[in-house]
Amino acid sequence: MKVSFAATRPQGSHALAIPVRSEDALNHRLADLDSAARALAERSAEAQRFEREIGAIAETFIDEDGAARRLLLVGYGAKQDEVALHERVGGALTAKLLTSGETKLVIDARGLDAGAACGLAFGAAARSWRYDLYRTKLGRKQKPTLEEIVLFGAGEGAKKAWAAYDAMLDGLDLTRTLVTEPANVIYPESFIERVRAALDGTGVDIQVLDEKQMAKLGMNALLGVGRGSARPPRLLVMRWNGGTPGKKPVALVGKGITFDTGGISIKPAQGMEAMKWDMGGAGAVAGAMLSLAKRKAKANVVGVCALAENMPDGNAQRPGDVVTSMSGQTIEVINTDAEGRLVLADAMTWTQRELKPAAMIDLATLTGAMVISLGHEYAGMFSNDDGLADALFNAGAASGDKLWRLPMGEAYDRIMDSQIADMKNSASREGGSITAACFLGRFVDEGVKWAHLDIAGMAWADKASHLYDKGATGFGVALLDRYIAANHEG
Ligand code: BES
Ligand code: MN
Ligand code: ZN
């Protein structure tokens, strides 16, 4: 989507959107239209019971110099402090117009400051994302027509502020694409090639560990997960050094299971196709790295993606197998479907030894139990550091990628003890997201600030929302971008 800012309303064919707050006098908002158009718009808004709720739209066709102009009055609500208000309004507009036949949306942004106007444009652009690559039979009316969004009259500096939002859109696009692509297209090696292409020229330094290098380092927990697959596992490392040279980086670690059959502890067929997005954590980390690099974030950030495919096979690991992780700790693999924690364990050990991070944040579609407890509104957050948890919570609230903190602690941790090894990878269903977090906690070194975000309920949506259509949400990109901006720059 092309987004631009103009001083005045452009000429030519377009749909015109006019935001209306509860307290606005409608005739004032419509002052630029001629009196016939104004009267028509007012009457049709009333006929459509337009009450200016956030994102509500009243549509009218008016006559402008003999042409039929689509006019959208869009509600801005009354509560001006609503988080992501502008994004919601923008998203509502593109959801409405994407396949409407209109190619250009012009938004009257007079009275909006730079941040509000950018939020509006960001929401509009984010909501317009779709992936039609494999739809060869889309009808004419199903194809998107909207190509361009112009905001006019926004406050000083909107054009300049837009660059950071535009970078975030690139990150979202990468994450959503990786998450949407099926597992015959995206597997560890092709994930890396996609990311490499997207990061090309951004200044992000890429390092890849193959299975031989990982074996040498003793990453048997990660390697064990990939054993049943014809697609070999990989560790992808992306370094962005935009901050003070030598300053300890923030490490972002992503679970990248490009397909999770469950392995020998195989999942039921029903719904298994969803497990193509079990790399949503890694996808978010890659997208965040792209967005940070594109806006030249003044911080040192490293993204680490633990990539593997979890398949059943003659070579696959079995329930009951014991593996020695890179940390030296041994793990009894009770359930081969609890594979995310296995790949993350080694990725986190590698990250701490190699990078000595100032903070380590992992993102993972880790447990079905997370979806049961928080549904699709919040990702679960677990942390050993209150300061880090608060910072992430605030970034979540501000970005719209909301987080809710859950407890950890000894009593939960003890549940992961094993008879034969240092720990087991799965226990009873009760508190499943918490015990998974405790498992990961055993791989966090003394003194390392760490947070684990279980995004199982957030990476994919079965229902459209204000910022995305059904499908990949891009959850985590805006969150991480905001977290870095608010805590590690300047
Ligand atoms: N990738 C799944 C978790 C998941 C399930 C994410 C549904 C999104 C939607 C994970 O690897 C898994 O299979 N977890 C098991 C753990 C159990 C075996 C301890 C689960 O949640 O059932
Ligand atoms: Mn699994
Ligand atoms: Zn999984």
Q: Of 108, 133, 156, which closes a domain?
A: 156
Mean pLDDT of 304-326: 98
Annotated active-site residue 267? The verdict is: yes
Its pTM surpasses 0.85 = yes
Specify whether 224 is located in the same domain as 366. yes
Helix axes 158-180, 280-294, angle to 10 degrees: 150
One domain for residues 135 and 246 = no
User: Domain check: are 328 and 290 in the same one?
Assistant: yes
Q: Which of 367, 418, 455 has most ligand 1 atoms within 8 Å of its beta carbon, as the pocket-test mutant?
A: 367
Q: Is the pLDDT at 487 greater than 70, yes or no? A: yes
Average pLDDT over residues 197-209: 98
What is the mean predicted confidence (pLDDT) over 322-331? 98
Question: In this structure, which residues have their CB less than 5 angstroms from ion ligand 3?
Answer: 257, 260, 278, 340
Q: pLDDT tens digit string along 375-419?
A: 999 999 999 999 999 999 999 999 999 999 999 999 999 999 999
Do 345 and 222 belong together in one domain? yes
Q: Would you place residue 490 in the very low, low, confident or very high pLDDT band (cuts 50, 70, 90)?
A: confident
Give the pLDDT confidence score for residue 81 in this predicted structure: 64
Query: Could you tell me how far CA 175 lies from the centroid of its own chain?
Result: 6
- 135 shares a domain with 208: no
458 alpha carbon, closest ligand = 1
**Whole-number Å distance between alpha carbons of 477 and 50:** 34
**Residue range 294-304: mean pLDDT, rounded:** 98
* Whole-number pLDDT of residue 2: 97
What is the model's pLDDT at position 82?
74
Read off the CATH number of the domain in which 217 is found: 3.40.630.10
Select from 411, 408, 406 the least CA-distant residue to 393. 406
Place of tokens 């397909």: 259
Ligand 1 pocket list (CB less than 6 A): 260, 278, 335, 337-340, 365-369, 371, 426, 432, 456
Q: Which of 110, 196, 267, 318 is catalytic?
A: 267
Task: Indicate whether 211 and 76 sit together in one domain.
Answer: no
Supply the pLDDT for residue 78: 84
Catalytic residue among 341, 424, 449, 482: 341
Q: Above 70 in pLDDT, residue 207?
A: yes
Q: How far apart are CA 165 and CA 117, in angstroms?
A: 11
State how many domains the chain has.
2
What separation in angstroms does the CA of 42 have from each of 77, 242, 373? Answer: 17, 51, 45
CA distance 376 to 374: 6
pLDDT digits (tens, 9 = 90+) for 102-136: 999 999 999 999 999 999 999 999 999 999 999 99
Computed over every residue of the chain, the mean pLDDT equals 97
The string of pLDDT tens digits covering residues 1-36 is 999 999 999 999 999 999 999 999 999 999 999 999
pLDDT of 84 over the 90 cut: no
Which of 267, 277, 337, 455 most suits a substitution to test ligand 1, by most atoms within 8 Å of the C-beta?
A: 337
Task: Using the mean position of ligand 3's atoms as its centre, give its distance from the Cα of residue 280 in Å.
Answer: 10
What's the per-residue H, E or C state across the chain?
CEEEEECCCCCCCCEEEEEECCCCCHHHHCCCCCHHHHHHHHHHHHHCCCCCCCCCEEEEEEEECCEEEEEEEEECCCCCCCCCHHHHHHHHHHHHHCCCCCCEEEEECCCCCHHHHHHHHHHHHHHCCCCCCCCCCCCHHHCCCCCEEEEECCCCCHHHHHHHHHHHHHHHHHHHHHHHCCCCCCCHHHHHHHHHHHHCCCCCEEEEECHHHHHHCCCHHHHHHHCCCCCCCEEEEEEEECCCCCCCCEEEEEEEEEEECCCCCCCCCCCHHHHHHCCHHHHHHHHHHHHHHHCCCCCEEEEEEEEEEECCCCCCCCCCEEEECCCCCEEEECCCCCCHHHHHHHHHHHHHHHHCCCEEEEEECCCHHHHHHHCCCCEEEEECCHHHHHHHHHHHHHHCCCEEECCCCHHHHHCCCCCCCCEECCCCCCCHHHHHHHHHHCCCCCCCCEEEEECCCCCEECCCCCCCCCEECCCCHHHHHHHHHHHCCC
Q: For residues 134 and 178, state if they share a domain.
A: no
Residues 376 and 280 in one domain: yes
Atom of ligand 1 nearest to the CA of 265: 18
On the question of pLDDT at 194 being above 90, the answer is yes
> Do 172 and 125 sit in the same domain of this protein?
no
pLDDT digits (tens, 9 = 90+) for 135-174: 999 999 999 999 999 999 998 899 999 999 999 999 999 9
Domain edge (last residue) among 100, 123, 156: 156
Model pLDDT, residue 435: 98
- Which of residues 129, 156, 183 is at a domain's end? 156
- Sign of the CA dihedral running 178, 190, 301, 371: positive
Please report, for the domain that includes residue 24, its CATH number. Answer: 3.40.220.10
The C-alpha atoms of residue 376 and residue 289 are separated, in whole angstroms, by 24
Distance CA 266, CA 336 (A): 8
Do 142 and 174 sit in the same domain of this protein?
no
Query: Which residue's CA is the closest to the ligand 1 atom numbered 16?
Result: 338
**Does residue 80 have a pLDDT over 80?**
no
Residues 51 and 85 in one domain: yes
Cα-Cα-Cα-Cα torsion 430, 436, 442, 447, nearest 10 degrees, comes to: -110
Find the domain containing 238 and state its range: 165-487
Q: Which residue is closest in CA terms to ligand 1's atom 5?
A: 368
Same domain, 174 and 202: yes
